[in-house]
Chains A and B, each alone.
Chain A
């Protein structure tokens, strides 16, 4: 292990926290978010949305429009009515067919926000309903005509490792398990919004967003390639979590077209209910395992089937599925593996990017599955899991090489000691009385950077601009959305150059100034973008000439040893992995099914922290969001309609719900990351749900195979167990000490 590299001032470690550069303006209320911008002559837009899950629009009837008000719809789009994403199915505005409730049909635009809203509420759309696909079950049944392609499947993949049929024959035992997860809403505190400003020959779109260049490409496609110079400027962004990765492209395209049509600036800001009901969500999932154990009860083979609900449009679903698949066997060594995955289309709100990007679903499933296997075998889950955990030199599920040291064993051991896991594990199974405790554990990783060939396709480019006054500007498309990019990236540059932090400037990206360093996603900003910045800074340092203007650019390529075969999903799906361990203790009230989280312990290996406080913010924040995902954040879609549309009904944790969190990180530098850094943003959410679910499962002595774990579900499980004959279902044994049957 290398010691931390040199630092800006001696004795000053890069991990030492610095004051966030954006904190002062945010405290004082002077930071300008999108809705705080008002430009002269600005018009307001309000969306008219589909009220049907699947229908043909037969007529659109507008109320009389006062002077200055107008409508923007599909036929106003000068370019292509498709948002440029991985695929080409998602329109800015519905044409003759609507595919989900909440889908935008047209904008009403006018000089006053309230009048615009009033007019929009009076637009009458008439429909002829078409047979909808309202759930994964509908999609599987295949009764309604497909929404997408011939098979209604946005993506389907499978990959193999080893020889699973052979493992099946050789196995001593087979264990089957199935899990499901629900939607999750980002609920960033700042609703989505954009402002499009037309100028002669040029169109600028300001917005709350993660990925300025995604937005640029989408807008260019909407207004017609090459017809206008399109410039995208990110405004201070009030949280994103993946929710502002895909959807701003749609909003920006719409507002841009409206701005061109009117020749005036147009602002489109969603209200909270629209934002909950119409913007993308985390994919619901169903994940099934058939696992084969050998004569030593060790994992021999695993057959995993993943089904994701993609909603109405493909969006980023295919890559979400890939990440889920590459997490399907968790942190474990499984010699023989087959993973099959599909994303099906349904007439529901589209699913998209959300912190973790498929991994939280997969880790919930695999971690619970291993927990269940261990308990059935009468083994301690921690021991069983560690026994199979990947080690340096092992092969990943896609036959990539685990190159870095894997410090899971010491992380887990240390954490379990701090949490008193073994003693509590043993004691809580024999719980008595109204309040029952449980403790659960999970191990996880998160592949840093884009999945598969992503980084090679994007080829992120960054620039450093040294001014004559020797201040250095960071020019990257990476956005600050709260996670701390504007804290961490300048530190990397300052420490590399060995100059004071206040000499580094990093403004919100403006595509006229910054190169395309790729989207701010996939836990890639610190490791990939930061890594490029470090290289560029070292280069700049070598050639540094005081008083001179200097420019340096750098483009990302994987380290030469990384190989990936996208066709067969073989090789290094990610350049490197960050690792995590979570332990959660809960108390369940058996009378009400309410779960109180007593405490959470977490340890992460993010390589090296670039700022301890920022890292802690990611740990605490990711854990809170993961807890919400596990317990409270229920979002149901019935008959195509989001049931929890109002913010009061979508219950994210409040101050009263959050338990104390004891989190920390181990130092395990990645050779190709800046100062050893890997990714940290998503990892912290990924492993929370299975630890919570395992704890609840222990507390109630009934299987927990879905999240969110609602009190309704808990009481139902307890009641069913009471009424069921002892053998009618196969709950995981409540005591890890008692050996029990497994399907053989």
Chain B
């Protein structure tokens, strides 16, 4: 039987983490599904685990100084229930898994799992979210794109926990989220696209964020390309679409797998990008 810890407070959890380096289990939907026939950690070499999903410190949703702060153990269902959270996030979450999974799966788990098809990630990249990482003495913040290093890899240290996810409480006038999967529910993304945009009074694009999920080891976002569009009058946008599209064509490097093809993923990403930009003009 594997050792399991069930701390009562976050501090206790961090202390356990420091002394035992145990694997945190929030909702467990990734950890448990990873080992279909035998539960995780059953083998002899298995490390201990620590339940963290119940820790109240990790279950808060707060707005502070113009920023949303989501506790790492906030469930996907909590996000859906919280009507004031940004629509694109809630939409991304509504398209994830199924109600029964969303009732236990956590926001922190989706990030720490660092899957290329993690569905909350495109939003977090687009919003330049930061993650708060704590060990028993220190805390540090990392931008999401520095926290996630590659598929299944994060900058989390063995004695740390992800405690909060922070992003500006900033809504965009235009937001489009597309998760393209094999069916309309209960499916992993073949690819996903999120576009956010704001216009100023003069009809110029004042801010734009473009992200693509499931088409590279980590979410694709290219702020320098977005910058090229910012400040453009919408009327001029159509002259730039080809160029922008070509630039993203170079960035999007999906793979072939049983779920879809490289060719399809890339083409649909570019189609959705183009559509988003054309819609902005119209």
Asked whether any CB of A lies within 8 Å of a CB of B in the complex, the reply is: yes
A600-654 contacts to B, CB under 8 A, are 632, 634, 636, 643-644, 646, 648-649, 651, 653-654
Q: Name 11 A/B residue pairs within 8 A (Cβ), A-sorted.
A: A114-B38, A117-B38, A271-B37, A632-B183, A634-B182, A643-B258, A648-B187, A648-B188, A712-B264, A715-B268, A716-B264
A719 within 8 A of B: yes
Cross-interface CB contact of B264 among A117, A434, A593, A656, cutoff 8 Å = A593
A178 within 8 A of B: no
Given contacts A591-B271, A651-B182, A712-B261, 12 further A-B contacts (CB under 8 A): A114-B38, A271-B37, A273-B36, A592-B272, A593-B268, A648-B186, A649-B258, A653-B183, A656-B184, A712-B263, A715-B264, A716-B264
Q: Note all chain B residues with C-beta closer than 8 A to A648.
A: 186-188
B257: nearest chain-A partner, CB-CB = A643
CB-CB under 8 A for A591 and B275, given A651-B183, A715-B267 = yes
Q: Note all chain A residues with C-beta closer than 8 A to B268.
A: 591-593, 711, 715
A594 within 8 A of B: yes
Query: Contact between A656 and B36 (Cβ–Cβ < 8 Å)?
Result: no
CB-CB under 8 A for A592 and B182, given A273-B36, A648-B188, A712-B261 = no
Q: In the bound complex, how far is the Cα of B271 from the Cα of A593, in angstroms? A: 11
Q: Note all chain A residues with C-beta closer than 8 A to B187.
A: 648, 651
B155 within 8 A of A: no
Query: Contact between B258 and A656 (Cβ–Cβ < 8 Å)?
Result: no
Q: In the bound complex, how far is the Cα of B42 from the Cα of A657, in angstroms? A: 37
A569-612 contacts to B, CB under 8 A, are 591-594
B98: nearest chain-A partner, CB-CB = A654
Cross-interface CB contact of A592 among B38, B183, B188, B271, cutoff 8 Å = B271
Query: Contact between A594 and B38 (Cβ–Cβ < 8 Å)?
Result: no
Query: Contact between B37 and A117 (Cβ–Cβ < 8 Å)?
Result: yes
Interface residues of B (CB under 8 A from A): 36-38, 42, 178, 180, 182-188, 258-261, 263-264, 267-268, 271-272, 275
Question: Among B258, B264, B271, B272, which residue has the most Cβ atoms of chain A within 10 A?
Answer: B258
A653: nearest chain-B partner, CB-CB = B183
Distance to closest chain A CB from B237 (angstroms): 18
B272: nearest chain-A partner, CB-CB = A591
A549 within 8 A of B: no
Q: Note all chain A residues with C-beta closer than 8 A to B264.
A: 593, 711-712, 715-716
Q: In the bound complex, how far is the Cα of B267 from the Cα of A719, in angstroms? A: 10
Q: Note all chain B residues with C-beta closer than 8 A to A636.
A: 258
CB-CB under 8 A for A654 and B180, given A273-B36, A649-B258 = no
Distance to closest chain B CB from A640 (angstroms): 14
Distance to closest chain B CB from A247 (angstroms): 20
Q: Note all chain B residues with C-beta closer than 8 A to A649.
A: 258-259
Query: Contact between B184 and A657 (Cβ–Cβ < 8 Å)?
Result: yes
Distance to closest chain A CB from B273 (angstroms): 10
Query: Contact between A657 and B185 (Cβ–Cβ < 8 Å)?
Result: yes
Question: Among A591, A654, A655, A716, which residue has the most Cβ atoms of chain B within 10 A?
Answer: A591
Q: Note all chain B residues with C-beta closer than 8 A to A712.
A: 260-261, 263-264
A468 within 8 A of B: no
Query: Contact between B36 and A644 (Cβ–Cβ < 8 Å)?
Result: no
Q: Note all chain B residues with C-beta closer than 8 A to A114.
A: 38, 42
Q: Note all chain B residues with C-beta closer than 8 A to A653.
A: 183
